[in-house]
């Protein structure tokens, strides 16, 4: 007897009329049509809707989320005012408040089918208050969200006093990934030195690396080059990620033609954060204003694994957001002009399978043996899912139903149409 049988589902690869069988939290069969002799404790008719592996946010800041307006809002909308504002907020932070806000956000995430999040956590404060708070959140949400934490020296690992020690202490406490912010160090040379140092720490400890890298409109901010080089030098291929990489938007095309194969050859993945990059970048421009997002289609064409992150929700940098990775994908395809069908599907992958590769998630997907952690969307395929930012009808993790949202259908209240007039609805 199966625990769960889902019938008549469409899958992200385009197959329709599919059945998915679940036993003990894992997918045991995926078949076209009915699975003969299958009996289950619960059967769900997907009604032709899309069953997708759950959404993944590979770049977030959970220690800052839902703090919008504390102690004031970001008037200029710039990255630098956001960092300054976070600096004002930090001395007033309480662990309980961070935990409460983070747990609220995790509830939103589950409702949106977002079951894996990589969150950076600021390690600049020697008390490591935010680190302790998010480690506690990681423990509390473990039954329903895979929360991976990145030791993130927001004030610069070399620039801030005790930066290296604080970061290492955070890793000692159990933070999973080594972070960095080379473009915020005092000089380009310090930035490059920080990349080298942090990659060496990751190599020594056998950890993954994820740096905020070149989150700037400065075309000469080239720390991604150092990150790719150090990744190769230390044999970290496939274990390192560059986040944001917005300076690539403004770089000289000839230099980028040299850089793309370097990144691809190093196995460094890249995370763009479309909602944030479109609002924070280009703020020093008059007109035309640069978009600032990294070169997503070009990176993908070069063979680089590119994922999209939400980055911020209602914090010093961004006052919008609801944990909806389809909104992220929607913005990503607009900013990157990825409007072909292949491009739109690639944007869906950027918040699912590509992000899973960044996080090194095991048992992710819709194949036999994968975790039965998926979301049933009120959409027929990936393109419709993004177009509608589709309703999450049901969200399961390891075969357990975590969230449901009723199917939504608008009831039109139109007056009778005059003869010969057609409403295009």
CB of 120 to Fe ion, least distance (A): 6
Considering the complex, state which of residue 311 and residue 349 has its C-beta at the smaller distance from Fe ion. 311
Q: Which stretch binds Fe ion (CB under 5 A): 33-41, 232-240, 285-293, 306-314?
A: 306-314
CB of 309 to Fe ion, least distance (A): 7
CB of 355 to Fe ion, least distance (A): 14
Cβ proximity of 111 and 182 under 8 Å: no
Q: Residue 288, preceding bond cis, omega within 30 degrees?
A: yes
Considering the complex, state which of residue 315 and residue 324 has its C-beta at the smaller distance from Fe ion. 315
Q: What angle do CA 342, 343, 344 make, to 5 degrees?
A: 95
Distance of CA 354 to the CA centre of its chain: 10
**Nearest Cα residue to 213 out of 179, 183, 252, 254:** 183
Alpha carbon distance 399, 53 (integer Å): 12
Alpha carbon distance 244, 291 (integer Å): 13
Considering the complex, state which of residue 59 and residue 389 has its C-beta at the smaller distance from Fe ion. 59
Up-side HSE of residue 394: CA atoms within 13 Å toward CB?
20
Question: Exposed e or buried b for every residue in 135-157, given b needs 16+ CB within 10 A?
Answer: bbbbeebeebbbbbbbbbbbbbb
Helix (H, G, I), strand (E, B) or coil at 147: strand
Distance of CA 374 to the CA centre of its chain: 16
In the region spanning residues 319 to 378, those forming contacts with Fe ion, defined by CB under 5 A, are none
**Nearest Cα residue to 210 out of 274, 82, 336, 119:** 119
The residue count of the chain comes to 425
Cβ proximity of 406 and 376 under 8 Å: no
Q: Which stretch binds Fe ion (CB under 5 A): 68-76, 141-149, 193-201, 309-317?
A: 309-317
Alpha carbon distance 375, 404 (integer Å): 10
Considering the complex, state which of residue 155 and residue 311 has its C-beta at the smaller distance from Fe ion. 311
| Residue 50 backbone dihedrals phi, psi, to 5 degrees | -85, 125
- Binders of Fe ion: how many residues, by CB under 5 A? 1
CB of 311 to Fe ion, least distance (A): 5
Q: Which stretch binds Fe ion (CB under 5 A): 101-109, 252-260, 307-315, 316-324?
A: 307-315
Residue nearest to Fe ion (CB): 311
Considering the complex, state which of residue 176 and residue 311 has its C-beta at the smaller distance from Fe ion. 311
Q: Which stretch binds Fe ion (CB under 5 A): 78-86, 231-239, 310-318, 380-388?
A: 310-318
Considering the complex, state which of residue 310 and residue 357 has its C-beta at the smaller distance from Fe ion. 310
CB of 63 to Fe ion, least distance (A): 11
Considering the complex, state which of residue 63 and residue 311 has its C-beta at the smaller distance from Fe ion. 311
Distances in whole angstroms, Cα of residue 382 to Cα of each of 41, 187, 275, 318, 346: 29, 43, 20, 27, 9
Alpha carbon distance 405, 284 (integer Å): 42
| Residue 240 backbone dihedrals phi, psi, to 5 degrees | -130, 140
**Nearest Cα residue to 191 out of 216, 164, 156, 215:** 156
CB of 9 to Fe ion, least distance (A): 34
Considering the complex, state which of residue 22 and residue 181 has its C-beta at the smaller distance from Fe ion. 181
Catalytically active residues are 215
CB of 122 to Fe ion, least distance (A): 11
Q: Which stretch binds Fe ion (CB under 5 A): 137-145, 172-180, 303-311, 329-337?
A: 303-311
Binding mask 82-101 for Fe ion (x = CB under 5 A): --------------------
In the region spanning residues 199 to 258, those forming contacts with Fe ion, defined by CB under 5 A, are none
CB of 61 to Fe ion, least distance (A): 6
Structural tokens at position 157: 């690992």
Interface contacts to Fe ion, rule CB under 5 A: 311
């Amino acid at each position: 007897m199966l625990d769960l049988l889902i019938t008549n589902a469409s899958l992200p690869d385009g197959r329709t009329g599919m059945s998915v069988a679940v036993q003990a939290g894992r997918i045991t069969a995926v078949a076209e049509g009915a699975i003969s002799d299958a009996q289950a404790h619960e059967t769900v008719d997907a009604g032709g809707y899309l069953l997708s592996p759950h959404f993944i946010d590979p770049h977030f800041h959970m220690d800052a989320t839902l703090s919008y307006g504390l102690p004031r809002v970001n008037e200029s909308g710039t990255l630098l005012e956001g960092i300054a504002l976070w600096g004002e907020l930090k001395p007033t932070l309480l662990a309980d408040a961070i935990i409460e806000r983070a747990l609220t956000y995790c509830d939103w995430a589950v409702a949106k089918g977002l079951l894996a999040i990589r969150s950076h956590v600021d390690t600049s404060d020697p008390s490591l208050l935010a680190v302790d708070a998010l480690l506690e959140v990681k423990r509390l949400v473990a039954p329903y969200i895979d929360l991976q934490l990145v030791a993130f020296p927001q004030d610069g690992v070399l620039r801030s006093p005790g930066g290296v020690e604080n970061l290492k202490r955070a890793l000692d406490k159990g933070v999973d990934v080594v972070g960095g912010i080379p473009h915020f160090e005092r000089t380009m040379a310090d930035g490059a030195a920080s990349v080298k140092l942090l990659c060496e720490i990751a190599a020594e400890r056998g950890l993954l690396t994820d740096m905020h890298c070149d989150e700037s409109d400065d075309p000469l901010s080239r720390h991604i080059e150092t990150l790719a080089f150090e990744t190769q030098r230390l044999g970290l291929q496939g274990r390192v990620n560059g986040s944001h990489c917005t300076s690539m938007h403004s770089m000289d095309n000839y230099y980028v033609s040299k850089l793309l194969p370097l990144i691809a050859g190093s196995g460094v993945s890249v995370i763009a954060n479309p909602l944030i990059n479109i609002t924070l970048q280009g703020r020093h421009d008059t007109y035309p204003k640069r978009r600032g997002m990294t070169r997503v289609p070009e990176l993908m064409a070069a063979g680089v694994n590119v994922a999209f992150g939400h980055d911020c929700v209602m914090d010093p940098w961004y006052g919008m957001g609801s944990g909806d990775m389809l909104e992220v994908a929607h913005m990503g395809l607009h900013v990157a002009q990825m409007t072909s069908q292949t491009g739109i599907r690639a944007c869906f992958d950027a918040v699912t399978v590509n992000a899973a590769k960044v996080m090194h998630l095991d048992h992710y997907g819709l194949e036999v043996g994968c975790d039965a952690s998926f979301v049933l969307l009120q959409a027929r395929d990936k393109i419709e899912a993004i177009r509608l930012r589709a309703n999450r009808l049901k969200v399961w993790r390891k075969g357990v139903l975590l969230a449901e949202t009723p199917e939504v259908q608008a009831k039109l209240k139109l007056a009778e149409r005059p003869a010969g007039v057609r409403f295009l609805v």
